[in-house]
Amino acid sequence: MLRTSFHFPGGVKPDSNKEASARDPIAFAPLPERLALPLKQSAGVAPSPVVRVGERVKKGQVIAAAEQWISASLHAPTSGRIADIGNYPLAHPSGLPAPAIIIETDGLEEWQERPPPDWQRLAPQEVQQYLQQSGVVGLGGAVFPSHVKLDAEARMEELIINGAECEPYVTCDDRLMRERAAEIVSGIALLRDLTGAGQTLIAIENNKPEAIRAMRGAISEHRENFTVVTLPTRYPAGSLRQLIYALTGKRAPFNVLPTAMGVQCFNVATVYSIWRALAHGEPVARRVVTVSGNVRAPRNWDVPLGMSMEALLQLSGPLSDTNGLIVGGPMMGTFLPLTNAPITKGSNCLIARSPRLFPPRPPESPCIRCTACAQACPQGLQPFELYWWSRARDFDKAARYALSECIECGCCAYVCPASIPLVHYFRYAKGELAAAAREQKMADDAKSRFEFRQFRAEREKTEKAEKLAKAAAAQAAKRAAEESAASGEPENMASQEERH
């Protein structure tokens, strides 16, 4: 069935550079001797460790358990011994370390007994809990815990499966759809049943014809009525709001979640892991990572979480002039020096950088207000205004120009003729605004605590005074009683005393 898509505003068409890594099938990476698993692998609250140093763990065993709703558990990707729990490097632009669990692997790959749940009989809440305990999070990059997205009470009108993969170089979803289409389609059917969606749309950019063919084949084999929508290749077609608009024509206003409009969206790799969790009892402890860029053999690797990025890069043979990494795609990813930080649930792609492939950005020159950025912005913002206020450190003004709606897709910086690193300015302004909000909240809390303390001091004072008065009255009554007992005329004595 053919279905045309709506044209979202803005966007750019960078070179896709996907062919090299999409050619070969997904290969399994050899098991490293040591895995480092940062506790915080998803949006929300980090899970808490439930293992001790020195303990032996089996493959698939929970090593950190989710304690809050917006959080997901973490599992051992293989069997081994817990070597340490402490601060270790992280693939983060700050270069700061973060709490992680270190596993020394034993190579036995000994599974923990984990029978698959009878998911067809489970209540929706139980399915949600099971997914949370299986550590299922969005593998497209935002790593939002998936069970939270299944929370919708209202019936979904459209279920969107995101296989657009619009970032250049990244091909992990492409290969996954080509090789594991049947399981993805089973997962989609499961999600359709859970969300009660009326219509299921699978979005794939038209530069992935094999993936489109594989998915269509699997759908007809499963006799499902899902529609594969072929999107024109334009970045950022895979971004949530752009994708929803392209497929349904629905536009969520600022500050309104698409869920409120009856649309829910899952990435294909997430759907695959939901299926593995519910049908096979397998937690998220591996993922497919694209290794590309300045390497001899670009391809996709099925990698245990916690494997060092450096080690993974070595598998594809980095060329000698490699001078750094990009984690994620070149548009939105994090530029890092070569690092032994580990692969986490959110790492979809490693790109080896070289001065030839990624020449340094020319120096920034003044903004000439050409508005090329506004035309490229898929969110309909005015990046030149946002830049102006961010640069002037007038963050409240930047917020009024809807800075929070910026998805940091990088289209504005890509088209800027003055080579202004616009996204960097926006990240800086967002950070300052978030810090100011944090400080304001702390000040408000401190104020209410201070006021309560004063109220309490006042209350204690009056209580003490009341107690003293009561004690004095009791004392007086006692004395009066004694004296009256002595004289035998209580009434008169008391009244006389009062008169005195």
Partner 1 sequence: MDILAAVAVMALGALLLGAALGYAAIRFKVEGNPVTDKINAILPQTQCGQCGFPGCKPYAEAISAGKAEINLCPPGGSEGTRKLAELLGRDFVPPAGEAETKKKRVIAVIVEDRCIGCTLCIQACPVDAIVGAARQMHTVVESLCTGCELCLKPCPVECIDMRTPPETPETWRWPEAGK
Task: Provide the 10 A C-beta neighbour count for residue 34.
Answer: 17
Closer to partner 1 by CB, 254 or 452: give it.
452
Output the smallest distance, CB 69 to partner 1, in A: 18
Please give the C-alpha separations between residue 441 and each of 397, 436, 437, 444, 452, in angstroms, as whole numbers.
20, 9, 6, 5, 17
- Give the whole-angstrom CA distance, residue 344 versus residue 108: 22
Of 110 and 364, CB closest to partner 1: 364
Residue 140 to residue 161: CA distance in whole angstroms: 11
449, 461, 464, 478: which one binds partner 1 (CB under 8 A):
449
x/- site string to partner 1, residues 27 to 56, per CB under 8 A?
-------------x----------------
Q: Does 428 bind partner 1 (CB under 8 A)?
A: yes
| Residues 233-264: b if buried by 16+ CB within 10 A, e if exposed | bbbbbbbbbbbbbbbbeeebeeeeebbebbbb
Closest approach, Cβ 465 to partner 1, in A, equals 19
Residue 255 makes contact with partner 1 by CB under 8 A:
no
H runs (alpha helix) in 13-114:
19-22
Helices (H), 50-199: 124-133, 146-149, 172-179, 181-195
Please, what is the minimum distance in Å from the beta carbon of residue 82 to partner 1?
22
Q: How far is the CB of 442 from partner 1 (least distance, A)?
A: 8
Taking the least distance from each CB to partner 1, the nearer of 34 and 427 is 427
Among the candidate windows 299-307, 370-378, 395-403, 447-455, which touches partner 1 by CB under 8 A? 447-455
The sign one gets for the Cα dihedral 214, 218, 219, 223 is: positive
In the complex, least distance from residue 61 CB atom to partner 1, rounded to whole angstroms: 26
Nearer to partner 1, 98 or 315 (CB): 98
**C-alpha span between 97 and 88 (Å, rounded):** 5
Closest CA to 419 of 372, 381, 352, 379: 372
Question: Which of residues 108 and 435 has its CB atom nearest to partner 1 in the complex?
Answer: 435
CB of 350 to partner 1, least distance (A): 19
**Residue 396 sits in the site that holds partner 1 (CB under 8 A):** no
Tokens linked to 323 = 């001078």
Q: Hey, is 35 helix, strand or coil?
A: strand
Contact pick of 126, 445, 460, 497 for partner 1 (by CB under 8 A) = 445
112-120, 245-253, 430-438, 461-469 -> range binding partner 1 (CB under 8 A) = 430-438
Q: Which tokens hold the place of 361? A: 């950005």
| Shortest Cβ 371–partner 1 spacing (Å) | 20
User: By C-beta, is 38 or 140 nearer to partner 1?
Assistant: 38
Q: How many CB atoms lie within 10 A of CB 395?
A: 20
Tokens of 118: 């009878």
Verify binding: residue 467, partner 1, rule CB under 8 A.
Answer: no
Evaluate whether 164 touches 231 at the Cβ level (below 8 Å). yes
Given the rule CB under 8 A, which of 70-78, 86-94, 255-263, 341-349 is the region that contacts partner 1? 86-94
CB of 424: closest distance to partner 1 in angstroms? 4
Provide, rounded to whole angstroms, the least separation between the CB of residue 65 and partner 1: 20
Task: Return the residue of 6, 28, 254, 450 that touches partner 1, per CB under 8 A.
Answer: 450
Give the closest residue to 340 by CA, choosing from 43, 38, 36, 77.
Answer: 36
Binding footprint of partner 1, residue count (CB under 8 A): 32
Residue 273: its H or E element: helix 268-280
Say which DSSP state 25 is in: P
Q: Is the N-terminal amide bond of 253 cis, ω within 30° of 0?
A: no
Q: Max Cα separation, the chain?
A: 115
Both tokens of 131, joined, read 């997914």
Give the Cβ contact number of residue 8 at 10 Å. 21
Q: Is 123 in the site for partner 1 (CB under 8 A)?
A: no
Q: Which is nearer to partner 1, 37 or 228 (CB)?
A: 37
H or E element that contains 102: strand 98-105
Q: How far is CA 36 from the centre of its chain?
A: 19
Interacting residue with partner 1 among 27, 98, 315, 332 (CB under 8 A): 98
Among 34, 56, 250, 427, binds partner 1 (CB under 8 A): 427
96 binds partner 1 (CB under 8 A): yes
447 lines the binding site for partner 1 (CB under 8 A): yes
The correct pick among 26, 63, 76, 90 for binding partner 1 (CB under 8 A) is: 90
Site for partner 1 in 341-370 (CB under 8 A): 364
* Contacting residues toward partner 1, per CB under 8 A: 40, 90, 92-94, 96, 98, 364, 391, 421, 424-425, 427-428, 430-432, 434-435, 439, 442-447, 449-454
